[in-house]
Chains A and B, each alone.
Chain A
Amino acid sequence: MKYESQGIAKMYFIAAIGLFVGQILFGVTLGLQYVMGDFLFPAIPFNVARMVHTNLLIVWLLFGFMGSAYYLVPEESERELYAPWLAKLMFWVFLAAGVLTILGYLLVPYATLAEMTMNHLLPTMGREFLEQPTITKIGIVIVVLAFLFNIGMTILTGKKTVITLVLITGLIGLAVFFLFAFYVPDNLVLDKYFWWFVVHLWVEGVWELIMASLLAYVLIKVTGVDREVIEKWLYIIIAMALISGLLGTGHHFFWIGTPDYWQWVGSIFSALEPIPFFMMTLFAFNVVNKRRRDHPNKAAVLWALGTAVMAFLGAGVWGFLHTLAPVNYYTHGTQITAAHGHMAFYGAYVMVVLTMISYSMPIMRGQKAANERAQVLEMWSFWLMTVSMVFITLFLTGAGVLQVYLQRYSETPLPFMVVQDKIEIFYWLREVAGLVFLIGLLLYVYSFFAKGKEVEDIGAAVTS
């Protein structure tokens, strides 16, 4: 570790992994509630478990992004972090806000939570993924602003690289678009319209910039390929991500009461959205193929390549599958969406954070790479989680296709709940795959504690 303040990332990563475990525990609970509706009822009803599952995902990914930035930026900027104390303080503020919010969801009825947190003063609660009490949202804004100040000042007073500039652009975008969470118009169409400014423009817009910069950083480190080569790729990828992603928001405006032209705009631009993910795969393959050395951290290389491929599969291919308006007319809001959501989040954002953790954690623990046994366990966890996520996606896709056919395409459409009974087998299969994912995740956590033979730095040039 070149700079002491990079070590701050460790606490963020530990919190991220802890919350990730929580998210998956609620995920398997939810999976069971799909087939055993009264499981854990009334202690944890389905709507609460779902809220906790999705909110934990968002919070731990934010912890992951912040940790990654705190690790990456000092090294790229060639200076210590501007205010390490602020990063530590904000960690505890964010963790406290996150944990209290989750406890609030679990311990108090949602309406009571809204009353307790004085939602009526500035009503922002009740929207999917943005269920957090207003006070929590204000907390998030404060934490993110402090984080941006810290990272921004480090970059401004240090060396500027393409990676840090792309990263800070993505992070500023993240902060700006979150502000739409505070705008809740009475008109339901406008409400949905601006809600997507947060949800879509995060995950299919600015988060892609964050992802690309993190991936580029790790690939530079583990392959030794010239920075110039990687930076050129980065420019093209982020340009394509923004060109396709911004107007691609239109694919959410097909059926919410907006003008018809959104069906054309949304279809055309979101059909282009797989391109940046396609390029990211090409970029990662190319850089690894041109590598100048074999890095001792094989697990990090595997995570990096896996990120590129799985992001293409989940965000690119499964997104394209249901993005054209004539297809989406039948598929919107079905299990096809759930299939896409699961693999896209895992492939693009979960995996890129795990890539950063895999690369940086051993260094923060005083090693070049984790010991051999730990790496073998970590790579096993990679395959268990990734393969089970592929199966989760396939089972949800199967459920979605059947749902569309029986509920929306058939000449004698069946009611929603009747169809749910008919696709139950897929939910059971998804639950089994979810349990395998949990085992993979627990193995991942265990890999940090595994003892074994230390790896040697085999930094010699590749000659094959």
Chain B
Amino acid sequence: MNANNQHSKLQLKNAANAALASILNLTLLPVIGFIALYLIYKKTTPNNIDHYHAVLGMKINIIAAFVLFVVSGLMILLGGFNSPWTWVYVISYFTIVHTAFIVIALWALVRSWSGDKLKSNQ
């Protein structure tokens, strides 16, 4: 099932740390988590599993930042700050989309523990 044997212990550790930093940036430690993720990325070498998970984490977080803040910002800009309907859309949208990113990052963390990429056939 897992690809542990193909990767060194250090790579696996870095991959797990990168995936953890990715989740932390999405939940408890925004920005700080991303800085940690970037620092891990700097230590990795292309084509290794830790590099893959560091890049994946950065992609997830950059896309999340865009679809959460930019789209929510546009909703507020177009709908008006003082319109109740703006907040109906923003709160519902933000909550469900944010959770979706957390769940994806969780799966990435689990895959990093076993030294696997996000999808089995990648």
Contacts and interface: CB of A to CB of B under 8 A. Distances in A.
Interface of A: 278, 281-282, 285-286, 289-292, 309, 312-313, 317-318, 321, 390, 394, 397-398, 401-402, 405-406, 410, 461-464
A321 B110 contact: no
B120 interface: yes
A290 B114 contact: yes
Given A286-B113, A290-B1, A290-B114, A281 B95 contact: no
Interface stretch (B43-51, B61-69, B84-92): B84-92
Contacts of B89: 398
Interface stretch (B7-15, B31-39, B72-80, B99-107): B99-107
B111 interface: yes
A286 B110 contact: yes
B92 A309 contact: no
15 contacts: A278-B106, A281-B103, A289-B110, A292-B1, A312-B99, A313-B99, A321-B91, A394-B92, A394-B96, A397-B92, A398-B92, A401-B84, A405-B84, A406-B84, A464-B120
A180 to B, nearest CB: 33
Contact of B84 (A312, A317, A402): A402
B91 A397 contact: yes
B109 A402 contact: no
Interface of B: 1-2, 84-85, 87-89, 91-92, 95-96, 98-99, 103, 106-107, 109-111, 113-114, 116, 120-121
Contact of B85 (A285, A290, A402): A402
A119 to B, nearest CB: 42
A463 B1 contact: yes
A321 B114 contact: no
Contact of A285 (B87, B107, B120, B121): B107
Given A285-B110, A289-B116, A401 B88 contact: yes
Contact of B103 (A309, A390, A394, A462): A309
B113 A401 contact: no
A448 B76 CA distance: 48
Given A285-B106, A289-B114, A401-B88, 7 more contacts: A278-B106, A281-B103, A289-B1, A291-B1, A317-B99, A401-B87, A464-B121
Contacts of B91: 321, 397, 401
A416 to B, nearest CB: 16
A406 B121 CA distance: 51
A406 B1 CA distance: 54
A282 B23 CA distance: 12
Contacts of B98: 317
A285 B84 CA distance: 38
Given A282-B110, A321-B95, A402 B88 contact: yes
A2 B55 CA distance: 48
A396 to B, nearest CB: 10
A84 B90 CA distance: 54
B89 to A, nearest CB: 8
B98 to A, nearest CB: 8
A289 B111 CA distance: 7
A172 B116 CA distance: 41
